[in-house]
Amino acid sequence: MLESVFLSLALASGFVHPTPTPPADLPVNIYKERRERVMKALNGCVALVAAQGAASGITEDFRQDGDFFWLTGVNEPDAFLLLAPKAPTRKVMLYLKRRDPEAERWTGPREAISPELIEKYGVDRVLRGSPEDSSAMTLAGESHDCVSIIAPVTLASEDRADAQLSKRLAERYGLKIVYQRNLLAEMREAHSPEEIERMRRAISITRTGHEAAARFTVRGLSERDVQTQMEYAFFTNGATGLSYPTIVGAGPDGAVLHWDKNTHLLKDGEIVVIDAAAEYGRYAADITRTYPVSGHFNSEQAAVYRAVYQAQEDVFAAIKPGVSMADLQRVAEDSLRRAHYLGDFIHGIGHFVGLDVHDTGLYEKPLPVGAIVTVEPGVYLPEKKFGVRIEDEVLITTTGYQLLSDQFPRKLEDVEAWVAKARK
């Protein structure tokens, strides 16, 4: 009964549920092609990669780490991928956690191993348990003369499980150890057209949330009110998740880089730093805008805003083939030094974006064509009880860059006009 009432209300309001376009999930051939590229780069060595995500919350929600997901599309804990380019037949082996019928009553059923599951993931075989216990591991050790450790470096006292297992494999079969710790980071920096399409979709959805923010950053509402309106807009326009917890910092809270309490009531004369974005098909967006509660920036706020905007413009002008994120950091610092705000710029100019909002990438090396990075200068003045940040996303091209978030206003006057239009 209730379902029919809600459906009637939805139809009467003219609501049309967003159809995911493009489809959120990547086709299996994309993952197969990625694994082929990795195996070619292994130069004949065998390699192991382990899932690194962690379950959290009372419902044990799991989010896979970017490397394993990029290679497999698998969002399960305790999984392993074995890549054996010299194996006679089974070159790509996927190992999944053993099934537990009692646990699945709490967390939901998991698929049984079947030809359909093998086809779904595009691998040669799917097994359950540790690769160390399988005959495929033995065959891999016997058919290769080296093992490549491609697990990224960790700061933990012990290396990752896949790196440890790789070393045991090398010792057992007398294999040479080759270190390629940056291999996956280098491969993931440049995005395919399918990935870029999904990030464009995430940015487009994010714009609907910021339109809501422009409308609702008014006196008397709370930071939480703004957050809920934004996230409602994200999900009703097709978001498959949030890129990160929504940050809404009004007045003094805007001078806190990662403010997360969202409890403050907005007041006239304040400005609100909003760092919030939608995720689409696991691919993230990352956009920040600063909105005036009264509709206009005062002279002091405007001076800071223009300095931040100019820093962003200076960074955009510096993006060209061969430039690195470290180079762009120096450009931003020089710009804000000229404006006498360098001491109030407390973070990096940007980061890579992809499967994670702070995605993997090499900051000291030239940005490859196809990389997507943020450009986010900011000035934070707790003594003045406000901060300003402007954050956009750019796609690196053969000649420079493309501004992916060009549908968001950036200039001070354009932001004020957007706010005025949204609140009519």
User: Would you give per-residue pLDDT tens digits along the chain (424 residues)?
Assistant: 444 544 555 555 566 777 777 789 999 999 999 999 999 999 999 999 999 988 887 887 899 999 999 999 999 999 999 999 999 989 999 999 999 999 888 888 999 999 999 999 999 999 999 999 888 889 999 999 999 999 998 887 788 999 999 999 999 999 999 999 999 999 999 999 999 999 999 999 999 999 999 999 999 999 999 999 999 999 999 999 999 999 999 999 999 999 999 999 999 999 999 999 999 999 999 999 999 999 999 999 999 999 999 999 999 999 999 999 999 999 999 999 999 999 999 999 999 999 999 999 999 999 999 999 999 999 999 999 999 999 999 999 999 999 999 999 999 999 999 999 999 9
Q: What is the CATH topology of the domain spanning 28-188?
A: Creatine Amidinohydrolase; Chain A, domain 1 (3.40.350)
CATH code 3.90.230.10 region(s) in the chain: 190-423
Secondary structure letter of residue 219 according to DSSP: T
Which residues, listed in sequence order, are joined to residue 63 by a DSSP beta bridge? 54
CA dihedral 248, 249, 255, 257 (to 10 degrees): -20
* Domain spanning 190-423, CATH architecture: Alpha-Beta Complex (3.90)
Contacts by 301-307 with C-beta closer than 8 Å and gap 24+?
301/271, 301/386, 301/388, 302/412, 304/341, 304/379, 304/381, 304/386, 304/388, 305/388, 305/390, 305/412, 306/412, 307/335, 307/336, 307/339, 307/341, 307/379
Q: 295 to each of 14, 218, 412, how far by Cα in Å? A: 31, 8, 11
Residues 6+ apart with CB under 8 A from 7: none
Question: Do residues 265 and 221 touch, judged by C-beta distance below 8 A?
Answer: yes
Q: Three-state SS for 123?
A: coil
pTM for the predicted model, two decimal places: 0.94
Provide the terminal-to-terminal Cα distance of the chain, rounded to the nearest Å.
37
**Phi, psi angles (nearest 5°) of residue 4:** -70, -35
Least Cα distance to 88 among 138, 29, 133 occurs for: 138
